[in-house]
Structure 1
Amino acid sequence: MFETTTIPAADATDARGRARRKVLTNRDCASKSGKPKAYDAKCDGLYVRRTTTGPNTFSALVRVKGTRQKRPYWLGCFDAETFNVDHARSAYYALMARIDAGENVFATARRDKRVKTKQGRTVDDLAIEYLDYIREPVKKKDGKMRARIESHKIIEGYFRNLVSPRFGRMTASDLTNDDVATLACDMMSGKYNGKPSVSSARHMRTALSGLYRWAREAGRGYVIKTCQPMVDLPSLPAEHPRTRALTPEEIRILWQGLERDDLPWDRMTCLAIKFGLATMLRSWEFLAIHHDELHDLDGKAFIRVPVVRVKKRRIIEQPLNSLALDILREAMKKSNQREFVFFGRFGAEAPLARKGMAEALRGTKKTPGLCALLGLKPFTPHDLRRTAATLLGNAGFGDGIIGRCLDHHTTRDRDGTDVSRVTGVYNQSTYREAKRPVLDALAVRLREIISEPDGAGQLAFAFAA
């Protein structure tokens, strides 16, 4: 390696008696003996600081802009390969050029340190702040204050269960798309959490995408602009939509089985399953029904579901057919003066848990599910909506009006013409009376199915099995 030679001096001191400066060599800079500071004769103000424990470091004494004061400016740690004395001199000349150009190098260093500290946060650190951000109440279009992202509890679960165990302690700026792709492959192959799941991999990528998009926004700068670990990821396998719909025979077995007294599941859960099939509502839309949300029960009865419980955040006014009213009256007798019609088992002021219906159908480790007890192919509470829609389709009703009953967005009118999405902003109708004959027809069809006499024998056989 090239080493700068020392210029021999005739005298060890100058005219004022001060020690003469010598041209530093790599040997001088690597040495731990001698004076704590050794100045370089080639660069005025450049010196190496020797320490007995850590590495020796290069610094330069430079004048603070606008003052007569001189302060040390750290250049780097000595390393014979990567930052030797020649590298230090080059850094010194570059520093002097910045000062001559009028730059306040100390202010720049402080700013760079703040940015480095901010961008040195871990994924867990950013996730905590991001979750606080999405939980923050903001004014919604209905005028009420709710969380910025109302599904924040679900997103929190994604970070807690999927992201944090693998990436939590990593520096956020160091995460790459290779890391994300590897985790997604592990999830889909079952190497992560033991159960193969394309859905979990998709949710993990969605949670991370929202986090890094928020972290790169102007004014935050928690990660550099080029840090985009969610770019150029491989496509995930397609998740095909469910097609499970109960046949009339399965509906008959289910309905009559829910009337048995020897079921291991409480009566309120059985009534909720029936109500979901008869009304076509989503489970979380009707499980938390308050008594004051029921209207005109002795006439043209309907339920008004507030926006906070609706997927698309719009009011639903769902007509109640005769079958739904029979179920509702039994539930109201049991709930008596309780706040919720379908009350849960954890107190009078709590509704039936959202996962209560799913657990009753699927079962737990200790209690068999209704599907197993009744000999039915497994299905979920959401499959009841598909079952009702299929019954109406077979009865001759069109997709448009069935979509209204399901609270789906309609893109075509009754005559088949396209409907502009902007029209939905002006048309605030809930189509309550338009849906009534459809849901009444559903009740008629369900009564026909459950009253057929040949289901009792098969039901008994299912229990015996």
Structure 2
Amino acid sequence: MNTTTNPFVFSTDREIQAYKGKEKRYTAKDKLNNGLFIDIKPTGRKTWMYRYTFNKKQEKLILGRYPDISLKDARLLRDEAATKIAKGISPKKEDNSLQTELIVFKHYGEKYIANVVAKDRSSTSTMQLYLDNDIYPIIGHLLITDVTIDHIRKIIWNKKDQGHDPTAWQIRGLLSRMFEYAVTLGFIPYNIVLAIPSKHVYKYRPRERYLSKDEINIFYTTLLNMEKIQRQYQIGLILSLITLLRKGELIAAKWQHIDFENRIWLIPKTKADSNTSNSREMIVFLSDQMICLLQELKSLNNMSDYLFSGKKIGTHISHATLNIVQEKVLLKSQLQPFTIHDLRRTASTHLNELGFLENAVEACLNHKIPGVKGIYNKAVYQSQRIEMMQKWSDFIFNLICISSDLIGHHS
């Protein structure tokens, strides 16, 4: 028989791709490499095998799945195994440990973080903490095919029972994405996490979130005590609260727009108005604490045009940088999740509760005040805003329990 036309003998990837699942599983062999086969199941799943003789016994080595392992790589694995056999070493022992690593959930999780998450995010630390602290202790040692919905429910409800529903919701999301990817790779037939709808774990309402006085104390005290967090990021999160700036306005700020002598910080371009699509210039009146923090930041980034210099010369930090730092603090402090943008709502809520003029607060947030008053808000509310920004800084620093004289020199 001419083996080049035999559908069960292959020499190229195209020929392997042409194999389809049949009523019964079957194998095809590599024309060029003795002992290398591919097993095709009725589902169409294809698995590499190397058949060989060791100590006068026929053995089979599972090399992995196709197309995760290409024909070229399978041939290399076959050659490595053949070399071991020639030296009197059984490749079967290594195969057992390898297969265990490939199937055990912890190993799969490590591959998922490295191959999927790391490609989309600049930091994987938050997800890694969820895995290490909440997921691996329950299912890390199990084969991925042995994980059940009861295991998933236990992981999620352990967190809910601790009173951390939003974190449980985030963990449920991570698990769902991991099992969805496992389905894609053919490790499991379906995503078992979908049996627990996210709405039954937690309904996230970001627009209502603001920090109480106790939460401000806990978050910022935790932030300042985390030595591994760079000082400029600590300053960035403090300024986010006391300046009322949006994150994008803060990280894109340049030193040329700060006038220390007149205690003014100009934001030349802000988020566009939703009605007119026009960006409005904004002024931040600097408090003593802001000046202190900015001067320290200047000493840290004295060669950059930006307050928060990026890794590359002439750039500022990315939009995700402060988010990542904030997530680390959230995990350590065990506070309910909030976004950096929620700090603006936090400031607005407390300033109104402290009795400051509502329109002055809105002006500090750079919200458009309706009517004729809005046209003149910068001039009309300047004195109120200067006083308010100083008292707001005093209020926050008292909550954090760090003196204004010391916070700029915190180490």
TM-score range, shorter chain: 0.3 to 0.5
Q: Calculate the TM-score normalised by the size of structure 2.
A: 0.45
Q: Calculate the TM-score normalised by the size of structure 1.
A: 0.41
Structure of greater relative contact order (alpha carbons < 8 Å, 6+ residues apart)? 2
More helix by share: 2
